[in-house]
Amino acid sequence: MHSRFLFVFIGFLGITLLTCSQTQQTPEHQTNANTHVANASQSMDTQPDSPENIPNSLKTLINQMHQDPVMRHGTWAFSVQDIASGKSLVTINQHKTLNVASSLKTVTTAAALGILGSTFTFKTYLQYDGKLTNGILNGNLYVKGGGDPTIGSPLLKYSLSATLNQWVAAIKKAGIRQIKGKLIIDETLFEENVTPSGWIWADMGNYYAAPAGAINVLDNTYRLYFQPARRLNAKPKVLRTSPWIPRIKFINHLKTAAAGTGDNAYIHGAPYDNTRYINGTIPMGGTFSIKGSIPDPGFYLGVKLREKLIQSKLMTSKNKATTSRLLKLEQKTLNTQRKTIHTHQSIPLQKIVNWINLYSVNLYAEAVLKMIGVQQKQEGSTEAGVKAIAEYWQSKGVSKGGFHMQDGSGLAQSNGITAYQLAQIQRLAAKQSYFTHHYNSLPIAGVSGTLKNVGIGTRAQNNLRAKTGGMTRVIAFTGYYKNRSGKLRSFALAANQYNCKYQVIKAKLVRLMVAMMEL
């Protein structure tokens, strides 16, 4: 499975029973301590607090999971907790650290609602330095980035052109008729090294790994179009990008595969590097497209705003657009003495959180993480944001042991958290004033987001609310459900290093979640 599932983890198939090719079980497999036991009560780590209260259907599935060949070389964990009492109801490997992929987003978003507040908005400022005399600005125009991940967002169906037109109108309203200096995109609020250190090269350059900077535009993505070759294994022709990306170059190692084989193409490239490498295959047929991450979103925004300013006769072709990063490379300093003439605000955080959790948007999660770093540590970095979030949950009672957070989205393969901690965070979030916003942001089984096709026709439908997570050999779910008595439970369920197709392990975990409805 591609890591791109972290961006839009859609297409769950309900609870259809699927089987892997079976292998003969060995006594070693049946008795492997902690993880592979024949009965949930045989291990201290897997013993429920009240085993007599666990329904037989759930016990049976737990025992089957322990003995399942697909988990022989892997680990799975399951924690169910009662919200009101805090009591643990299911404790399967609950203190084993696992990668939970995008389920980690709930750790970020719930903390953000608590730290930043549900009404928080990202702000982008139009500013100028120098002197404004009789409509002539003898100085520079600035766009000071505030980390807003939604500017011109195709996901939110925003128009970048409409936003830039509003900015041009605001400049004119401020009395500016002619700009003599440069257009400078100020990205200093967030760190220049925009990619979290835990992200791998295989992801970088692809749309789902678009890093968050102080300036983000168009979800920091573009679409690349190809004309597949008419022969198998021949090289497709690169046609164009949409939108046009300045200075970008493609090294094409792509091959044409048989019709119907789907998108198996990747775009690789580091931030700010205009050279992109294309690998993999695309199918024969008509024009085909894939998505990549814009190398330098700040510079791209500068180019597009400069075009608008020239069209409006506020600038001429002699005026240049640049960024704070490029000026730093030229050993030039920014003038911090500026006047603000317009403030562009994002939608409230609670709505951004909805998009993060409903459709697993990595970019938004990373921008929120860095803003937490700004607010709590006065540093717009991944490291500062991670530290602030860890401290937030520790202040609520979550232990440090087993908790290893490397980013805000769950894309880093070095992330780790225990099932107990993840379910505990959901339980603690239920005690906070922002809980309604957190709860409502999660996909609903059989209804919405990444759970739209899960649990249809079962008690999970329109009851279970959970954030999904998935990447290569990683699957996870975390969230809430109500039992027949109306008691709210939190849970976390994850498996790492399973040995079967993703749809197979997914079906097994869905069966466990449906069975836990009776708990």
Residue 398 and residue 434 share a domain: yes
Same domain, 268 and 192: yes
pLDDT in tens, 121-152: 999 999 999 999 999 999 999 999 999 999 99
Per-residue pLDDT, 53: 78
Return the residue matching tokens 């490498």. 277
Model confidence at 411, in pLDDT bands (50, 70, 90)?
A: very high
Is the per-residue pLDDT at 10 higher than 50? no
Q: Is residue 40 part of a domain?
A: no
Asked whether the predicted pLDDT for residue 2 surpasses 80, the reply is no
Contact between 46 and 40 (Cβ < 8 Å): yes
Element (H, E) at 237: strand 237-242
Cα-based distances in Å from 26 to 29, 73, 76? 5, 13, 19
Q: Mark 477-515 as b/e (b = at least 16 C-beta within 10 Å).
A: bbbbbebeeeebbbbbbbbbbbbbebebbbbbbbbbbbb
- Give the tens place of pLDDT for each residue, 61-112: 999 999 999 999 999 999 999 999 999 999 999 999 999 999 999 999 999 9
- Residue 113 CA: distances (Å) to CA of 2, 109, 121, 348, 399: 30, 6, 12, 10, 20
**Does residue 55 lie in a domain region?**
no
The pLDDT value recorded for residue 52 is 54
Q: Are residues 361 and 498 in the same domain?
A: yes
In a domain, 512, yes or no: yes
pLDDT the model gives residue 99: 98
Please give the mean pLDDT across all residues of the chain: 91
Alpha-carbon span 103 to 200, nearest angstrom: 19
User: Tell me, what DSSP letter sits at residue 51?
Assistant: G
Region 351-380 average pLDDT: 98
Residue 152 forms part of a structural domain:
yes
Give the contacts of 3 (CB within 8 A, at least 6 positions apart): 202, 203, 206, 208, 209, 411, 471, 472
pLDDT at 34: 33
Q: Cis (ω within 30 of 0) for the bond into 243? A: yes
Other CB atoms within a 10 A radius of the CB of residue 21 amount to 9
Query: Smallest Cα–Cα separation from 291: which of 234, 363, 368?
Result: 363
Domain boundary among 311, 328, 347: 347
CATH code for position 358: 3.40.710.10
Q: What is the mean pLDDT of residues 379-406?
A: 98
In single-letter form, the type of residue at position 450 comes to: T
Q: In this predicted structure, which of 13-22, 288-297, 321-330 has the lowest mean pLDDT?
A: 13-22
Taking only the tens place, the pLDDT of each residue in 266-275 is: 999 999 999 9
Higher pLDDT, residue 51 or 184:
184
Same domain, 274 and 417: no
Q: Are residues 154 and 265 both part of a single domain?
A: yes
- Do 172 and 98 share a structural domain? no
Q: Is 170 left (phi over 0), alpha (psi -120 to 50) or beta?
A: alpha
Asked if 320 and 255 sit in the same domain, the reply is: yes
Q: Which structural domain, as residue segments, surrounds residue 308?
A: 121-347
Instruction: Please count the structural domains in the chain.
Output: 2
Q: Are residues 366 and 327 in the same domain?
A: no
Token pair 């009395």 is found at: 175
Model pLDDT for residues 204-227, shown as the tens digit of each residue: 999 999 999 999 999 999 999 999
Mean pLDDT calculated for residue range 26-44 = 32
DSSP state of 404: B
Q: What's the average model confidence in pLDDT over 442-458?
A: 97
pTM of the model: 0.90
Within this chain, do residues 234 and 365 fall inside the same structural domain, yes or no? no
In whole angstroms, what is the distance from residue 4 CA to residue 470 CA?
Answer: 9
